[in-house]
Amino acid sequence: MVENSQTASPGPQAGPSTRSVHAGEVRPRPHHALIEPIFQTSTYTFDSIADVIAYEAAHAAGRHTGVYEYGRYGNPTIAAAEARLAALENAESAILLASGMGALTTTFLAYLSAGDHIVITDDSYRRTRQFCQQFLARFNVDCTVVPLGDYEALEAAIRPQTRILFSETPSNPYLRILDLERFAEIGRRRNAFTVVDATLATPLNVRPLEWGIDLVIHSATKYLGGHNDLLAGVVAGNSEMIQPLRGLVGVLGGISDPNTAYLLLRGLKTLSVRVAHQNRTAQQIAGFLKEHPAVENVWYPGLKTHPGHELACRQMQGFGGLISFTVRADLQGTYRVIDALRIPYLSPSLGGAETLVLHPALMAYYDGSPEEKAQAGMVDNLIRLAVGLEDPQDLINDLDQALQVIC
């Protein structure tokens, strides 16, 4: 912590680009550096026993004074990233973890005990569902899966033991839209925490906390980092709810590291311009695909034909950079379309500068049973496109030539 330093956050009234660059920063930085330093250290020193006693007392009370003891319990570079992430979500606090799954599993482990119950929606990330249905069951935590958007089924699934309601918005890969206000109201009325994974939206397109959600989770690996070069996850919410996560991550050890935090801070500075470009590009591509004779269906919230379009217009500032579509072909024809693409990389993940293409049934459900694939809608002719920062027309031209192989 810099002596006589002061927070220079622009505040929630500032625009998204300003907050992406400056939110949560402290001025002046050590040696008046413009960029946040990387504090590459695993341990910290004290000047006296009195300083140790003061630190331990503050730590036990849950107060952070800018003093650190050991890398598993905090780091100034990580704290700077957490402050910016919290500001982008208009949250009181945020915690950075080693991955998006680390953020999610730590949250569930912090708030679920033996005998508790969790309700999740069916279009959630496959690994999330596996953790809830298989791993948590080993600790006598029960899980119920309900269709995303079926709020009567959600209400019916809640029990006196229900502790958490969890969903995603938009979901992956079909980009279903959760009614955040309704979801939050059900949670409050039924005494359950609401947790939403908003990775595909980013805080630039939707901020679930502003709609009453208790905790929001992101895989910072995706849009927040923005360059396909880091793994991280974040949970944001009020300080009272984040504090138990800080205590638990010190035990579980799923911490981030200062180099990752530095890369994340650098990526966040361009978040606003990147997401704006990806929103525009995806909208153009979705419109093109919708009219293409080789395309069967397109899922993108920005299209009026999308079942969640009106809700997305009410909740979101932009519709994101992910598009899913089915082609008029069998499995082998779908493979030929993907292989014919010249610009996108064939790869998992999303949110970076490079456009990526994925065959969900093969790459996300390779070891899934036919029943699991059918339940998740993993049809053979489904393609997922994660738009990057290339020129929209170049991507459209590339898609057009690739689709010609099945025309």
322-327 vs 345-346, strand pairing mode:
unpaired
**Are 261 and 286 contained in the same domain?**
no
Q: Which amino acid is at 10?
A: P
| CA separation for the pair 351, 97 (Å, rounded) | 18
Asked if residue 201 is part of any domain, the answer here is no
Asked if residue 312 is part of any domain, the answer here is yes
CB neighbours (10 Å) of residue 134?
10
Domain end marker among 242, 269, 296: 269
Q: Which of 72, 182, 190, 328 is catalytic?
A: 72
**Are 282 and 390 contained in the same domain?**
yes
- Predicted confidence at residue 9, as pLDDT, reads 64
Asked if residue 180 is part of any domain, the answer here is yes
Q: What is the mean pLDDT of the chain?
A: 94
Averaged over 62-76, what is the pLDDT? 88
pLDDT band per the 50, 70, 90 thresholds, residue 4 = very low
**Are 242 and 285 contained in the same domain?**
no
Asked if residue 215 is part of any domain, the answer here is no
- Predicted confidence at residue 372, as pLDDT, reads 84
pLDDT reading at 248 higher than 90: yes
pLDDT band per the 50, 70, 90 thresholds, residue 27 = confident
Asked if residue 204 is part of any domain, the answer here is no
Which residues have CB under 8 Å from 400's CB, separation 6+? Answer: 288, 292
Burial (CB count within 10 angstroms: exposed 0-12, middle 13-18, buried 19+), residue 290: middle
Residue 202: in which H helix or E strand, if any?
Answer: helix 202-205
Q: What is the CATH number of the domain that holds 23?
A: 3.40.640.10
Averaged over 80-102, what is the pLDDT? 96
Lowest mean pLDDT among 56-60, 181-185, 252-256, 284-288: 56-60
Averaged over 375-380, what is the pLDDT? 88
**Are 83 and 130 contained in the same domain?**
no
Asked if residue 147 is part of any domain, the answer here is yes
CA dihedral sign of residues 45, 50, 53, 59? negative
pLDDT reading at 16 higher than 90: no
pLDDT reading at 7 higher than 60: no
**pTM, 2 dp:** 0.93
Q: Which of 197, 214, 257, 380 is catalytic?
A: 197
Averaged over 75-88, what is the pLDDT? 95
233-237 vs 345-346, strand pairing mode:
unpaired
Active-site residue, 125 included = yes
**Are 83 and 37 contained in the same domain?**
yes
Q: Alpha helices of 209-300 — where are they, by DSSP H?
A: 239-252, 258-268, 271-291
Please state, in angstroms and as integers, the Cα–Cα distance from residue 291 to each residue in 280, 288, 298, following that order.
17, 6, 10
Report the percent of the chain where pLDDT is more than 90: 85
**Are 93 and 161 contained in the same domain?**
no
117-121 vs 93-97, strand pairing mode:
unpaired
Residue that has been written with the tokens 């082609």 in this structure: 327
- Predicted confidence at residue 368, as pLDDT, reads 82
| CA separation for the pair 282, 107 (Å, rounded) | 32
Residue 357: in which H helix or E strand, if any?
Answer: strand 356-358
What SS3 class is residue 262? helix
| CA separation for the pair 89, 218 (Å, rounded) | 11
Which residues have CB under 8 Å from 22's CB, separation 6+? Answer: 8, 9, 10, 14
Which residues have CB under 8 Å from 387's CB, separation 6+? Answer: 278, 281, 282, 285, 321, 322, 323, 355, 395
User: Per the structure, how many domains does the chain have?
Assistant: 3
**Are 260 and 348 contained in the same domain?**
no
Q: What is the CATH number of the domain that holds 280?
A: 3.90.1150.10
Please state, in angstroms and as integers, the Cα–Cα distance from residue 260 to each residue in 39, 257, 313, 321, 334, following that order.
11, 5, 34, 23, 37
| Structural domain for 301, as ranges | 272-406
315-339 per-position pLDDT tens digit: 999 999 999 999 999 999 999 999 9
| CA separation for the pair 109, 125 (Å, rounded) | 18
- Predicted confidence at residue 5, as pLDDT, reads 46
Active-site residue, 222 included = yes
Q: Alpha helices of 270-330 — where are they, by DSSP H?
A: 271-291, 309-315
CB neighbours (10 Å) of residue 64?
15
Are the beta carbons of 132 and 107 closer than 8 angstroms?
A: no
**Are 385 and 237 contained in the same domain?**
no
**Are 22 and 93 contained in the same domain?**
yes
Asked if residue 198 is part of any domain, the answer here is no
Active-site residue, 197 included = yes
**Are 44 and 134 contained in the same domain?**
no
Domain end marker among 142, 175, 191: 191
- Predicted confidence at residue 6, as pLDDT, reads 53
**Are 91 and 230 contained in the same domain?**
yes
Q: Which of 19, 111, 123, 125 is catalytic?
A: 125
Averaged over 275-298, what is the pLDDT? 98
Report the percent of the chain where pLDDT is more than 70: 97
196-225 per-position pLDDT tens digit: 999 999 999 999 999 999 999 999 999 999
Within its chain, how far is the Cα of 72 from the centroid? 23
Averaged over 218-235, what is the pLDDT? 98
| CA separation for the pair 343, 245 (Å, rounded) | 41
- Predicted confidence at residue 2, as pLDDT, reads 35
Asked if residue 23 is part of any domain, the answer here is yes
- Predicted confidence at residue 31, as pLDDT, reads 86
Angle at 98 between CA 92 and CA 103, to 5 degrees: 50
Domain end marker among 243, 269, 295: 269
pLDDT reading at 1 higher than 50: no
Q: Which of 176, 222, 246, 384 is catalytic?
A: 222
**Are 134 and 235 contained in the same domain?**
no
